[in-house]
Amino acid sequence: MDESSSSSMASASPLDPQDESTVQDFDGGDENYSLLRGNVHREALFTSAITGIEYPIHIYLPPGYEGAEHTYPVIYVLDGQVLFPGIPYLLEDEGVEAIVVAIAEGPEDRRRIDYLLPGARDYFRFLVHELIPFAESGLRVEPGQRTLLGTSFGGVFSGLAMLMDDVVDPAFYNLLAFDASFYQHPHETQQLLDNRYLASDELDAKLFLSSALPEGNDEFVSQFAALLAERDFSGLSVERERYQTTHGKITEPSFRTAIRHLWGQ
């Protein structure tokens, strides 16, 4: 896709009707879920027709979901091979009820392709066109509380996703980027941001940016925050936090703070 286009990513490059993703359920075992009060609703191997990659998917439902009738926020978690079931545990510990869809990286360190440009464009299409319809089918989801969570390279993708999302009807309203590696392709990121602003100076989203000190990505996260501030998008809310921790331990304190911002816990 030409980066100068003002078209939204969510509506770009539709799938060929003959292209189909495939899903195979698997039993991951429950030994790691024994302390969860909620339920691991489904575990599946999802092969994307867009990226051609097989991704392990885990879907978690909060306690009491089966007996309730209301809708729930849903959180899409990148790097599920590391962050699941940790994120559901943290939700329960904070008393927050939300559906979690965790997407593990593909084979051979695929995150370096999927979470960064240019591969992030196809990965975003995979999320919007394939995974969201699959994951939310039959579940009581509140689309206006759909969240994307990423750490490190995944945090870069959260920022990119906000800029690639549909201008009028975005898939994600909450974007969480923890110690994101924004030193990756700064020129391309700047160009994507500029193009998004040309498409519209309105951006209805909440962005949570955290960084680790002293040996994390604080400098680069601050640079990304400054770029957004220069554009001053209408409707965009940015929360900025710093933690005295390491890059590898940034997720827990960041997530606990982020969900309090989002859901007032």
Top-confidence range, 1-5, 12-16, 109-113 = 109-113
Q: Give the mean pLDDT of 19-38.
A: 84
Q: For the chain, what is the domain count?
A: 1
Cβ atoms of 241 and 206 within 8 Å: the answer is: no
The CATH number covering residue 45 comes to 3.40.50.1820
Within a domain: residue 110?
A: no
Within a domain: residue 6?
A: no
Alpha-carbon distance of 242 to 148, in angstroms, equals 20
Residue range 229-241, pLDDT digits in tens: 999 999 999 999 9
Within a domain: residue 12?
A: no
26: pLDDT confidence band, cut at 50, 70 and 90?
A: confident
Within a domain: residue 256?
A: yes
Strands 141-151 and 174-178: parallel
Within a domain: residue 13?
A: no
Residue range 70-129, pLDDT digits in tens: 999 999 999 999 999 999 999 999 999 999 999 999 999 999 999 999 999 999 999 999
Alpha-carbon distance of 79 to 151, in angstroms, equals 8
Within a domain: residue 10?
A: no
81 CB contacts (<8 Å, ≥6 apart)?
A: 56, 104, 105
Task: Report whether pLDDT(2) > 70.
Answer: no
Within a domain: residue 4?
A: no
Within a domain: residue 1?
A: no
Alpha-carbon distance of 218 to 80, in angstroms, equals 24
Classify burial at 64, counting beta carbons within 10 Å of its beta carbon; exposed 0-12, middle 13-18, buried 19 or more: exposed
Task: Report whether pLDDT(18) > 60.
Answer: no
pTM here is: 0.92
Q: Give the mean pLDDT of 201-227.
A: 97
Ramachandran angles phi, psi of 230, nearest 5°: -60, -40
Task: Report whether pLDDT(258) > 60.
Answer: yes
Residue range 133-158, pLDDT digits in tens: 999 999 999 989 999 999 999 999 99
Range of the domain at 167: 20-104+119-263
